[in-house]
A and B are shown apart, each in its own frame.
Chain A
Amino acid sequence: MFYYLDKSEWNSYLLSLSKNYLIYAPFQNNGFIDFQLFHDKPETIIYHSAKTITPLKHFLFPLKEKVTDQPAVQKVMVIGAKSCDLAALDLFDKIFLDDQLMDDFYRRRRENTLIIGTDCHSVDKTCHCTVYDIKPFPEKNCDLTLVENKNEVILSSMTKAGEMFLSQISGSGRIKKKDEKLPDSIIKTRKEIGARIAKANRTLPNSKKTQTVIDHSIGKKDKVWKKYASTCVSCGACVISCPTCHCFILLDTSRPGVMEKIRNHDACQYPGFEKMASGVDPLEKHYIRFRNRYVCKYVNRPQKFKSLACTGCGRCIDTCIGKIDKNEVILACSR
C-alpha cells in the first residue's frame, strides 16, 4: 500500500522526528551528494540522485568501533539509501548475523536503524547495477520506500518497523490518501532509468559470466592483471567505499592490562593483510593482491555466501587514485 502526503506535511513531520532519531539524508555539499546529519531545511534533501559518496554500510559497520563494551543503542534513520547499497546488505547480514557467531554490534545497529530507500532518478557515469540484476529503485533490505512526486511524497513499508512508522504518520493525520499503486509517471521513470543504465553498460558480462571470466583469468591473464595493477597504489579506497567489503582487523587498545578491543575497517589491498607469522604472504605480489579484490567479489564470496559481492555501484571506479576502471579490467580479462 502506498501512502501519499503533501511534501510540506512530510517536511514538518521530519523536523519533529529529529528529536527521536539521528537522521541522515543526502545533501549537496561542495559539489558532492552525500549523507549528512539532518537538522533543518528538509526541502534541501536530495532524494533521487544516484548513489551517495559514502556507502550505507558505514551506518551499520562504522570505520572504527569499540566492541568490548555494551553497544550504545541510538535510534538512527537513514533516508535516501539506494538499491545498490541495499542489495549489499544481503552479504552483510549473512556474515554478521550468523546464528552461531552473531556480531551483536552490527545486529543492534541494524535493528535500531530505520532505512528509507529511494529511487534513482539520475544516473552517474559509473552506475551499473542492472548488469547484476539490481533495479535502480529499492526492492529489499529497507524498512520503507519513498518517492517524491511533484509536491507529494509517497511512502510504502517493507518491514514491521516500516509499518509502525507509517501507522504513526497516519495517526498524526498527515496522510492525504492511500493507493494500491504508484503514479504511472513514476513507473515510467523507473523503466527509463533502468534502460539507460543497461544501455550504457551493455558490453559488460553479468555476474555469472564475470565469475567465469575472473576465475579463468587466474594464472592465465597475468599480463592483464600486471598492467592494471601498475597504477594501483594500494590505498584501499576501493574497499572502504565499497558497500560489500566487510573486512576488518580486531585491535587491542594500547592500554596494558585492559581488555578492550576495537573493530577497525581493513582492506585486502593493504600490504600484509594476509601475511602470516612465518613470513609467508599469499598476497605478497602486488598484481595478485590487486587481483584478489576481483576474485573475492566475483568468485569467492558469491560461492560461499550465495549472494552478490559486487552490486555495481561504481564507487570503486570513481574513487580510484590509479584511475583504474574495474569494468575495463573485467572486459580485458574476458578478451
Chain B
Amino acid sequence: MKNIYKPLKSKIENIVHESPGIKSFVLKPDEEFRFDTGQFIELTLPGFGEAAFTPSSSPFEKKRFEVTIMKAGYVTSLFHDIKKGIPVGVRGPYGAGYPVKQFEGKDVLILGGGVGLAPLRSLLLTLVAQKQNYKRIILCYGAKTPSDIIYKDQFKDWEKKGVQILRSVDKPDTSWQETVGVVTVLLDKIKVDTSKAVVAVCGPPVMMKFGTFKLLEIGFKPQSIYLSMERNMSCGVGKCGHCAFGPYFVCKDGPVFTYDQIKDFPDVWL
C-alpha cells in the first residue's frame, strides 16, 4: 500500500530565476509522476520541512514538472537558497484539479496576480494543447512592477498560440506600454458573454476578493468563478485539520472551489 506520508525522491534539474523573490524549479521524480492541472504537491526539503505548491507546467509532460516558488517564509526561503542537483521529496498529487471538461465550448478567462500565475500557467498550457475545445482563452495578469512579472519570455508564445493577453502593473517603469493599475481594471477591457464563460482566479488574498467582486459585477455567475483558496496546510490528505475551511478541507475538497460553494462561509475573505 502507498504510504501517503512518504515523499517520492526527486531531483532538481534546473532552477529558473523568474523575478526578485520568485524562482521556478524543474523537478524530475524517480518514478513517473502524473497530475491533473490544478492539483498540488507537497515538496519536501529533507530534514527541514515541506510546503504546498501547484505544478506550473503542462500535465501532458510525464517525465518532469515545474513548480514556481515565491519566497514567503521558512521553507520557501530555503528552496531559494539551494542549488540544482540536490534531492528533494514530492508527495501527491493531491486535491481536485480544474474541471476542464466543464470548460468546453466556453470562453475561458484566466485572472492571475503575482505568483498566482503558477497554477494558472499549467491550466493555460492544458487549454492551449486542446484549443479547439474552447471558444476563446483570455489571460488577464497583473504584477506589482514590470520586473515582478513571471514567465516573462513566454507570453509572446502563448499569444502566437491564440491566447488573448492583457497585462497590468501597479507601478510602471519608463518602458512599460501596457495597462497601469490593479489587475481588476483589465476586466473593463474585455468583452465576454458571461453566461457562456468561466473564469479561473488565483493570486494574493486581496486580489482574489476584489477580483471576485468585479467578476460578479460584470455578470459572472458564482458557479462559473473558480477560485484557488489558500489555507495553511500540513498533511495534504484530509487528515490533519490545518486547512479547514467551513466543513471543507481545502487539500481534499479543493484547492479549487467555485464561488458558489463557499460564498456563505464567514471566513471566505480574510
Contact = CB atoms under 8 A, between A and B. Distances in A.
A275 B230 CA distance: 10
A249 B242 contact: yes
B62 interface: no
B246 A274 contact: no
Nearest to B249: A304
B79 to A, nearest CB: 12
A15 interface: no
Interface in A258-313: 258-261, 263, 266, 268, 273-278, 280-282, 296, 299-301, 303-304
Contacts of A278: 72, 204-205, 230
A163 interface: no
B244 to A, nearest CB: 7
A248 to B, nearest CB: 5
Interface string A35-58: 000000000000000000000000
B266 A277 contact: no
B6 A259 contact: yes
Given A252-B50, A258-B46, A304-B248, A246 B76 contact: no
A103 interface: yes
Interface string B46-75: 111111000000000000000000001100
B238 interface: yes
B109 interface: no
Given A257-B47, A266-B240, A276 B232 contact: yes
Interface in B198-253: 204-205, 230-232, 234-235, 237-244, 246-249, 252
B238 A300 contact: no
A68 B6 contact: yes
A94 to B, nearest CB: 10
A256 B47 contact: yes
A259 B244 CA distance: 27
A67 B5 contact: yes
A296 B239 contact: no
B3 A67 contact: yes
A72 interface: no
B239 A248 contact: yes
Interface residues of B, number: 43
A152 to B, nearest CB: 42
Given A96-B239, A268-B241, A278-B205, A250 B234 contact: yes
B44 interface: yes
A276 B48 CA distance: 18
Interface residues of A, number: 46
A263 to B, nearest CB: 7
A12 interface: no
A77 to B, nearest CB: 24
30 contacts: A67-B3, A68-B6, A101-B239, A103-B237, A218-B266, A246-B241, A247-B241, A247-B242, A248-B234, A248-B239, A248-B241, A252-B48, A252-B50, A254-B47, A257-B46, A257-B87, A258-B47, A259-B6, A259-B7, A266-B242, A268-B241, A276-B230, A277-B72, A277-B73, A278-B230, A281-B270, A296-B241, A301-B247, A303-B247, A304-B248
Across the A-B interface, the 6 shortest Cβ-Cβ residue pairs: A247-B241, A256-B47, A277-B72, A67-B5, A303-B247, A304-B247
Interface of B: 1, 3-7, 9, 44-51, 72-73, 76, 87, 89, 204-205, 230-232, 234-235, 237-244, 246-249, 252, 266-267, 270
